[in-house]
Copies of this chain bind each other. A is one copy, B any other.
Amino acid sequence: MIDAAGLRVMRAIADEGSFTSAAASLGYSQPAISQMVRRLEQRVGTPLVDRVGRTVRLTEAGHALARHAGTVLAALDAAEEEVAALAGLRAGRVRLSAFPSASATLVPKALALVRDRFPGVSMTFTEAEPPESLAALRAGECDLAVAFTYAGTDVARGEEDLDIFVTRHLLDDEVLVALPTDHALASLEEPVPLRALADAAWIAGCPRCRGHLLDLAGRAGFTPAVSFETEDYVAVQGLVAAGLGVALIPDLIARTAFNPDVVIRPVVPASRREIVAVTTADLQHVPAVAAALEALTDVAGSPDLLPTFPAVAADRVDSEAVLDYHL
């Protein structure tokens, strides 16, 4: 019945003392005020102003509205200010979920970038494997997920329907092979043929990575003998270092969890997992989410922020260089 515009007008009339100057102060024309008041009056059913001579005076009801206008408009302004802060990146919260190996590199850099660019935006972070993070996204428990999908495999798509989400490519993470330093193929100049490891004992990572291993090996014509399974890639490399087997290991993880007793080598056929940021069609337009997305993209795309660790033989890596790669 009564709207904010009407209250604004009544307040302006009370403050200015005339329709004309109220109109000027609000940026309206004089007749606009005149008929605005008339409309209001016939809505509330009682005169709001008393026009006597060439002056206008508020009636009791008019004064009531002018008085309430302050409260209402202040509350409205507060609401506007709050959303304006959210829209202007002076406030906001992004709940990010990422898988473990991203949490060590990509995510911290991106969090720092967002914090530097938009101090008012706060980010919370939860570590979760892609299926869980996507479920959280769907359930509205997080706004942005960093997930990965093995290119050419339907591993990810089988578990969660990515179509309902919006994905942004961050980087291609090449899948390498981890060998004990004393392994016969450890000093091979060329990439290691996967088939050459057909008879090796295999150590598998997370379930989805295991799926990828089986898929890849199947294409290479063999079924790997999986001796150990663990989601902890530090453990994986420990097992490899102890000579208990070989493992496929993504580049990003190799850089993160570096073990000097392990040799990381490229492998043929080459394969990669695609690391993506995932959000919803709506959330991608929320400024804070967009800013986080941007920061992730920047980190993933900038060699300075996230240096590409060349897949090198262990003997070409010294501790100092490794330290550089740890954040």
Contacts and interface: CB of A to CB of B under 8 A. Distances in A.
Q: Which of A53, A64, A285 has the most CB of B within 10 A?
A: A64
A49 B281 CA distance: 11
Nearest to A290: B46
A242 interface: no
A24 interface: no
Contacts of A49: 282
A7 to B, nearest CB: 7
A283 interface: yes
A2 B72 CA distance: 12
B3 A46 contact: no
Contact of A75 (B60, B71, B93, B280): B71
Nearest to A140: B57
Given A44-B87, A60-B93, A283 B50 contact: yes
A97 to B, nearest CB: 15
A287 B46 CA distance: 7
Given A2-B79, A71-B75, A50 B140 contact: yes
Interface in A51-74: 51-53, 57, 59-61, 64-65, 68-69, 71-72
18 contacts: A2-B79, A44-B83, A44-B84, A46-B83, A46-B286, A47-B286, A50-B282, A51-B282, A52-B137, A52-B138, A52-B282, A59-B283, A60-B92, A60-B286, A61-B83, A65-B83, A72-B75, A75-B75
Interface of A: 1-5, 7, 44-47, 49-53, 57, 59-61, 64-65, 68-69, 71-72, 75-76, 78-80, 82-84, 86-87, 92-93, 137-138, 140, 164, 280-283, 285-288
Given A52-B164, A59-B286, 8 more contacts: A2-B76, A4-B76, A44-B80, A46-B83, A46-B286, A47-B286, A50-B282, A57-B140
Listed from nearest, the 5 A-B pairs whose CB atoms lie closest are A68-B79, A46-B87, A45-B87, A71-B75, A72-B75
